[in-house]
């Protein structure tokens, strides 16, 4: 758009409207709450916790005793993903008026330098937002089936955290939540008991995909269970929007399992394709607490090595090129969610 500007008539600039869809981190904050770990290598050690279930055998007090082998976890070496986005800042970017910028033409050099500093700061925020979206997307991917597929320029590999086969799948026929013959409470009770056998934590949270919420709440069996006229408290549905982008739907009592139920509709675009972090037709069940965390591989940049920052979660750099002239803002990171408690989570397609 071209604006006819008379430099002899002052113009007041109204406040710009900045629309920023801030990234959400509900999955990362809730199910990967452990302290992030940084590494000085391209690969990281991923621990898969698995505690023993053997009962001790009887033994005579006169014998030497019964030896017990060590157990508890399995360690695998995996390659981390790598993210390296950058944004160029050229002279043409500085000359063009940005939203909210005054049309005052005085002090051109100072104005352009101030604008460059402001733009570089905005670029850092923008790059960090993109990375945070990717980290949340990685959480959503691994929570659905225990794997992450890293595919991009120079990268193509899959990391498998071995989620139990019985903890994931697809419901069919009358088992679907959309069926009037389905009793989700009965099916969920069986799932929770099975998770207790395959894992070691009690299910506490259930996330519903956007298209699952209405079929679940309106299911005849669920409505009957949640009826306030019943003498036994089966919980209540009381939707409440949370600051982290989720909708808290309420707490339900499924034969003693007190489950906090959430809806999560955070979405992003990947190559122009709209994608939901929480699959719209699935549910995810997890514990109230766990030791999952994020691991970060080494920053593969000479500048980071020189500055002693190679073992960092993020490495930001601003560098200049002479011909063609430009200033580049870059952020590098090598994230990988450590889904060490995969046995305590489940995911099913229910509609």
- How far apart CA 339 and CA 344 sit, in angstroms, is 10
Asked whether 94 and 116 are in contact (CB, 8 A), the reply is yes
Which sign, positive or negative, has the C-alpha torsion 9, 14, 16, 17?
negative
Q: What separation in angstroms does the CA of 256 have from each of 45, 213, 347? A: 37, 22, 21
Provide CATH 3.15.30.10 ranges for the chain: 26-54+70-157+294-338
Predicted confidence at residue 53, as pLDDT, reads: 75
Tens digits of residue pLDDT in 110-121: 777 888 888 898
More confident of the two residues 258 and 230: 258
Tens digits of residue pLDDT in 129-177: 999 999 999 999 999 999 999 998 888 999 999 999 999 999 999 999 9
Predicted confidence at residue 305, as pLDDT, reads: 95
Provide CATH 3.30.1930.10 ranges for the chain: 164-291+342-349
- How far apart CA 98 and CA 117 sit, in angstroms, is 13
Architecture of domain 164-291+342-349: 2-Layer Sandwich (3.30)
Predicted confidence at residue 333, as pLDDT, reads: 97
Tens digits of residue pLDDT in 41-100: 988 877 666 666 778 888 878 888 888 776 666 777 888 999 999 999 988 888 766 665
Q: What are phi and psi of 87, to 5 degrees?
A: -130, 125
Flag whether pLDDT at 17 surpasses 60. Answer: no
pTM, two decimal places: 0.86
Tens digits of residue pLDDT in 298-351: 999 999 999 999 999 999 999 999 888 899 999 999 999 999 999 999 999 999
What's domain 26-54+70-157+294-338's superfamily in CATH?
putative capsid protein of prophage domain like (3.15.30.10)
């Amino acid at each position: 758009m071209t604006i006819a500007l008379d430099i002899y008539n002052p113009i007041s600039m109204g406040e710009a409207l900045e629309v920023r869809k801030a990234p959400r981190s509900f999955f990362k904050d809730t199910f990967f709450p452990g302290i992030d770990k940084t590494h000085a290598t391209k690969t990281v050690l991923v621990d898969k916790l698995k505690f023993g279930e053997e009962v001790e055998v009887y033994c005579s007090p006169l014998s030497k005793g019964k030896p017990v082998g060590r157990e508890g976890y399995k360690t695998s070496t995996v390659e981390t993903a790598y993210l390296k986005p950058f944004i160029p800042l050229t002279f043409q970017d500085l000359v063009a008026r940005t939203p909210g910028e005054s049309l005052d033409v005085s002090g051109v050099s100072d104005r352009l330098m101030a604008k460059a500093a402001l733009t570089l700061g905005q670029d850092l925020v923008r790059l960090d937002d993109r990375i945070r979206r990717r980290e949340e997307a990685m959480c959503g991917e691994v929570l659905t089936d225990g794997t992450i597929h890293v595919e991009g320029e120079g990268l193509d590999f899959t990391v498998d955290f071995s989620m139990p086969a019985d903890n994931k799948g697809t419901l069919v026929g009358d088992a679907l939540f959309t069926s009037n013959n389905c009793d989700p409470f009965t099916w969920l009770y069986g799932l929770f008991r099975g998770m207790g056998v395959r894992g070691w934590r009690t299910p506490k949270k259930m996330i519903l995909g956007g298209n699952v919420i209405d079929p679940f709440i309106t299911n005849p069996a669920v409505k009957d269970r949640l009826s306030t006229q019943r003498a036994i408290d089966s919980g209540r549905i009381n939707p409440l929007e949370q600051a982290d982008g989720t909708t808290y739907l309420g707490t339900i009592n499924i034969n003693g399992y007190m489950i906090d139920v959430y809806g999560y509709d955070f979405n992003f675009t990947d190559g122009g394709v709209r994608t939901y972090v929480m699959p719209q037709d699935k549910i995810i069940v997890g514990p109230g607490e766990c030791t999952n965390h994020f691991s970060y591989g080494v920053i593969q940049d000479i500048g980071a090595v020189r500055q002693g920052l190679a073992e960092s979660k993020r490495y930001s750099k601003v560098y200049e090129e002479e011909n063609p002239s430009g200033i580049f803002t870059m952020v590098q990171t090598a994230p990988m969610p450590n889904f060490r408690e995969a046995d305590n989570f489940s995911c099913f397609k229910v509609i």
